[in-house]
């Protein structure tokens, strides 16, 4: 009896051990399957990133809605953070600016054409494509009435009027591609007043100052009826909006990539200003702004804005000296 009982106990323990082994194997298989499923899903999904300012949010929505269904990761941070997300594979692409790529990511390497920039980015597993059609660079602006009265069309024209008061952002005063170099290039003799970028608009409207520095797609340009002066001596570097992407994306998601190509040249400066204005002055949600723009662009057909023709799509000979906007932040810009 004792021998039979012992054999039964052994058999029972053996069966229990086998069942536990099978259960563990099934659990490990399930965990492995669950871990692989998100990776497979992510491999089939476009992941779009953005920085933390209005224009970047809107451009992310334009890219995402053009290539739906996407995953949009809004407001990741400044250039360094979003760029690292791209390098690590957390995102597949985001809208960037050629001046920022050349100065911040490539650390000032000569890259004044798309081909040269792609050659420099290729060792990092990245590429640049799809020039969207606008340059969001620095400029000076004046009241339209003063521009008409004094015949101000270019920065050279402005330099001929030393009696005009300049109110420039503290950031612009300290940048390598800011006031110091601009004054030397054009021969400005004024001593500008340093202001917060957002307050400068109010000071200009109140006629406390006569000219301010702006980003060329600022929302308040059209809203306040300002006149942007031409950089006739080509001092400022260009910040053409493009798509910075991982090189495996076109082969991994060919249909998505083909859809994104339709955005090339679609967004001119006036369109970008209008979209920024809807967000900042009317509080329209970013996704609604993007959807409305794509609907109107589809009805109008593919645009051929002048800015795209003379910008990064072609060979740009604009100087690229100075620091990238990623190093500093303004009230709604952080490059």
Which token pair is 212? 């301010």
Kindly state the percentage of the chain with pLDDT values over 90. Answer: 55
What digits encode the pLDDT tens for the residues 128-182? 999 999 999 889 999 999 999 999 999 999 999 999 999 998 878 887 678 999 9
Residue 278 CB neighbours (<10 A): 20
Provide the pLDDT confidence category of residue 42 given band limits of 50, 70 and 90.
low
Of the two residues 107 and 37, the one the predictor is more confident about is 107
Residue 50: closest CA among 25, 21, 79, 29? 79
Mean pLDDT, range 62-91, rounded to an integer: 87
Kindly state the percentage of the chain with pLDDT values over 70. Answer: 74
Residue 186: closest CA among 138, 146, 152, 233? 233
pLDDT at 129: 98
pLDDT of 319 above 60: no
Domain boundaries, the chain: 45-135+237-327, 138-228
pLDDT of 8 above 70: no
pLDDT of 70 above 90: no
CATH superfamily of 45-135+237-327: Periplasmic binding protein-like II (3.40.190.10)
Mean pLDDT, range 49-77, rounded to an integer: 87
Q: Do domains 45-135+237-327 and 138-228 have the same CATH topology?
A: yes
Domain 138-228 sits in CATH at 3.40.190.120
**Strand order from edge to edge, sheet including 138-143:** 193-195, 166-169, 211-215, 138-143, 226-228
What digits encode the pLDDT tens for the residues 230-268? 999 999 888 999 999 999 999 999 999 999 999 999 999
pLDDT at 82: 93
CA dist 206 and 268 (Å) reads: 30
């Amino acid at each position: 009896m004792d021998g039979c009982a012992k054999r039964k106990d052994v058999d029972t323990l053996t069966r229990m051990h086998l069942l536990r082994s099978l259960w563990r194997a099934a659990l490990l298989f399930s965990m492995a399957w669950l871990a692989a499923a998100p990776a497979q899903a992510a491999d089939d999904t476009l992941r779009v990133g953005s920085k933390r300012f209005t224009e970047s949010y809107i451009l992310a929505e334009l890219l995402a809605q053009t290539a739906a269904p996407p995953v949009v990761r809004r407001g990741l941070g400044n250039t360094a953070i979003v760029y690292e997300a791209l390098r690590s594979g957390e995102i597949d692409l985001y809208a960037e600016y050629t001046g920022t790529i050349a100065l911040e990511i490539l650390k000032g390497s000569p890259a004044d054409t798309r081909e040269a920039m792609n050659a420099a980015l290729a060792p990092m597993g990245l590429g640049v494509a799809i020039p969207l059609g606008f340059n969001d660079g620095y400029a000076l602006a004046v009241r339209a009435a003063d521009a008409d009265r004094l015949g101000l069309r270019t920065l050279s024209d402005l330099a001929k009027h030393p009696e005009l008061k300049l109110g420039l952002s503290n950031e612009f005063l300290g940048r390598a591609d800011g006031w110091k170099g601009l004054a030397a290039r054009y021969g400005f003799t004024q001593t500008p007043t340093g202001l917060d970028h957002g307050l400068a608009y109010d000071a200009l409207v109140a006629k406390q100052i006569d000219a301010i520095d702006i980003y060329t797609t600022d929302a308040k340009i059209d809203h306040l009826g300002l006149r942007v002066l031409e950089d006739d001596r080509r001092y400022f570097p260009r910040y053409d909006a493009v798509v910075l992407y991982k090189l495996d994306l076109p082969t991994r998601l060919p249909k998505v990539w083909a859809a994104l190509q339709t955005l090339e040249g679609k967004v001119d400066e006036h369109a970008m200003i209008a979209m920024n204005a809807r967000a900042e002055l009317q509080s329209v949600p970013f996704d609604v702004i993007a959807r409305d723009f794509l609907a109107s662009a589809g009805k109008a057909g593919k645009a051929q804005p002048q800015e795209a023709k003379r910008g990064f799509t072609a060979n740009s000979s604009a100087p690229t000296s100075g620091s990238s906007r990623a190093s500093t932040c303004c009230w709604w810009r952080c490059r």
